[in-house]
Amino acid sequence: MIPLADSTIYELEKAGNFPKRFYLTARCVAWNLAEVEAWIAERRSAIMQRAATPDVRLRKSRPVTDRRG
């Protein structure tokens, strides 16, 4: 339902930005569906900022050079 890696979900939970998991058994965890759906709805309504495009000319390996002149 959430296309994120387990480690990403864990980090979001730890930061308080994702619903808390609960244990069904000693080795099996689950999340409350209503809380996860509310989290998704909240993310959909939020305006997401795009990450800045990296300057490829600053790369250490295979730097881009200007071949126009």
5-60 pLDDT, tens digit per residue, is 999 999 999 999 999 999 999 999 999 999 999 999 998 888 877 888 888 778 77
What letters, b where the CB count within 10 A reaches 16 and e where it falls short, cover 39-54?
beeeeeeeeeeeeeee
Alpha-carbon span 47 to 51, nearest angstrom: 13
pLDDT over 70 (residue 64): no
Does residue 65 have a pLDDT over 80?
A: no
Band (66; pLDDT cuts 50, 70, 90): low
